[in-house]
Structure 1
Amino acid sequence: MRFDTVPKPPAVEARPRDERGYPVPAITPWEDGRPQFALTDHERSAACARERLCSVCNTLMPRGPVWRVVGGAEAAAIGEALAAGRPYRNMAPTMEGPGHRACMLYASMVCPYLARSNARRRVTAEQGDTPDELTAHVVRGAARGEAGAVVGFAEYEFAVTPTKVLFRFLDPVEWLPHHNADQQLPNLMQELERITQR
């Protein structure tokens, strides 16, 4: 699907756009009037973490589950644990913040890297002068991997350091897998209908 044909959650519809029309996520920094999609703005990410704001649309996430898009080995491991009735807890922190279910379903479909199993990163997401264990894999040419999923977690934890905002996600409660994210369209449509009926 083309990104401009994917239905937008209302709060995403209100986001600023780049010159192509892509809505710009809340944690994306701007440079010279252009969003830097491969990077994360420290202050915006910290505000989202502290104030429980969605990292995509920048509006409040109510108490309860939060969602994020995962790929590769992590998506597969979560699915295997849930299918076997085992708990899953990845203690490794990530710099990717949480969001609403609708926002993460939308992001999974429109972000070129998240949407397709054969997608590769176009740029390196550098944080500071040198990559570290959290950013070493976020390099030009890195592949997403076969599996992808939008995963709901019971809760998240975070730490704000001088250079990074780190998140850890606890206790998966929903696993919506995809090979290519177009498969998430029915889930997104159902969620948007649920939102409008509130």
Structure 2
Amino acid sequence: MRFDSVPMPPAVEARPRDTRGYPVPAITPWEGDEPQFARTDHGRSANCARRRLCSVCDTVMAPGPVWRVVGATESAAIAGALAAGRPYRNLAPTLEGPGHRACMLYASMVCPYLARPNARRSLTADAPDELTAHVVRGAVRGELGAVVGFGGFEYAVTAERVLFRFLDVLEYLPHDTADAHLAELRAELDRTGPGQRR
């Protein structure tokens, strides 16, 4: 599915664009006039965490649930916990911040790496370690990603990175290809309207 055929949340529509027309997420660093997709800017990410801003659109998230897109490994862990009737909590922190439901549904469909199981990473992490060892150029996303709603999140800002943990799974929307979320995104945009503060 082409990114320009996916309905865009109003706050995402207001974001700066790259030369192809892709909206640039709030946490994406820039080098000159070029956004560095697949990388995270420490200052921008810290600002989003501290001010409870969506990591995609950079607007305030209301108190309550937050969403994020997860890859195959975490999606499988969440699915397993839900199937067994156990709570899920990601004890290992992640570098990916939360966002609005509509923004994460949108991101899952327009980000090439998130949208398809055979998509490959275009970049390797700058300084690979235990949190970014999987961020290797050419790595495949894998089967069954998901958009997941959580009751809340915790964060820590260190000198090198911003770390997130998510609490209480409220919604689990798995996908092989993310265009499966198209109807859900349209319904969410209709429900939230132009103010989109959820």
CA shift, 1:197, in A, is: 8.0
Q: Does 1:101 align with 2:98?
A: no
Using the TM superposition, name which of 16-25 and 141-150 deviates more. Answer: 141-150
TM-score, length-scaled by structure 1: 0.96
Instruction: Give the equivalent residue in structure 1 for 2:116.
Output: 116
Instruction: Give the equivalent residue in structure 2 for 1:86.
Output: 86
CA shift, 1:147, in A, is: 1.0
Number of matched residues?
A: 195
Mapped to 2, the partners of 1:160 and 1:8 lie a distance apart of 30
Letter matched to residue 145 of structure 1? G
SS at match of 2:45: helix
CA shift, 1:83, in A, is: 2.9
Letter matched to residue 75 of structure 2? A
Instruction: Give the equivalent residue in structure 1 for 2:129.
Output: 132
Letter matched to residue 73 of structure 2? A
Q: Percent identity over the alignment?
A: 74
Q: Does 1:154 align with 2:158?
A: no
CA shift, 1:101, in A, is: 0.1
- After superposition, the C-alpha distances for 1:26-67 in whole angstroms (9 at most, x for unaligned) are 000000110000210100000000000000000000001000
Mapped to 2, the partners of 1:124 and 1:197 lie a distance apart of 37
CA shift, 1:143, in A, is: 1.0
Instruction: Give the equivalent residue in structure 2 for 1:57.
Output: 57
Q: Does 1:40 align with 2:37?
A: no
TM-score, length-scaled by structure 2: 0.96
Give structure 1 regions of 4+ aligned residues with deviation exceeding 2 angstroms: none
Mapped to 2, the partners of 1:123 and 1:44 lie a distance apart of 20
Mapped to 2, the partners of 1:54 and 1:25 lie a distance apart of 9
Q: Does 1:192 align with 2:184?
A: no
SS at match of 1:75: helix
Letter matched to residue 26 of structure 2? A
Letter matched to residue 90 of structure 1? N
Q: Structure 1: where are the runs of 5+ without partners?
A: none
Q: Structure 2: where are the runs of 5+ without partners?
A: none
Q: Does 1:8 align with 2:8?
A: yes
Of residues 146, 160, 165 in structure 1, which corresponds to 2:162? 165
CA shift, 1:154, in A, is: 0.4
- After superposition, the C-alpha distances for 1:52-101 in whole angstroms (9 at most, x for unaligned) are 00000000000010000001121012122223321111100000000000
